[in-house]
Chain A
């Protein structure tokens, strides 16, 4: 099956700093999503981005499908950005499913 690798595994930032989170995947995808898992365990959808660039406030994401990677940018980080960020991809096919990476743990310190 498809492999999803996220880097770095852990990231510590000072409040106000910017960061880039990376997701590499091993095959063509028809869906890519970035999620933030909050301390209570809920997965919050940040972006549905199989290709191109999207922005939502301080967050933006870019997926280069031809090169099989996606980047999540966080600008002016806040303590509430702390948590685990997951990249998940879905390949084409009748019974396709989301396959997750192992996640990136972000800690933003005041």
Chain B
């Protein structure tokens, strides 16, 4: 069964350092999402890509977060500088596009900022 790949699985970083996460969606999936899940809560959307274009980044803290999907395939989410409040699970998901059959999520990256 096709999977969404994410790395690293775990990341510990010091406050004010830069950190990056990588996601490779299911082949052929045009739409890619980055979600953040704070402990005890449901995931919340940070950014949505349609192919290489950002279509929704209204909840992305743009002063410190950036995301790109240069060739419309894999994607990188970056935080610089990291803050203590950024500690969370970062989940990537993909879907086929306009005709939905549901979203598939990757295993996530658990970030701890110390």
Binding site for B on A (CB under 8 A): 4, 30-31, 33, 35, 40-43, 45, 48, 86, 88, 90, 94-95, 97-103
Complex Cα distance, B102 from A30, in Å, reads 10
The residue on B at minimum CB distance from A103 is B42
Interface size class for chain B? 20 to 34
Is the pair B108, A98 in contact by a Cβ cutoff of 8 Å? no
Give A105 Cβ to nearest chain B Cβ, in Å.
9
In the complex, A103 Cα to B39 Cα: how many Å? Answer: 11
Smallest CB–CB gap between A83 and chain B, Å? 14
When the two chains form their complex, are residues B107 and A40 in contact, meaning their CB atoms are under 8 A apart?
yes
What distance in Å separates the Cβ of B24 from its nearest Cβ neighbour in chain A?
15
A42–B37 alpha-carbon span in the complex (Å): 11
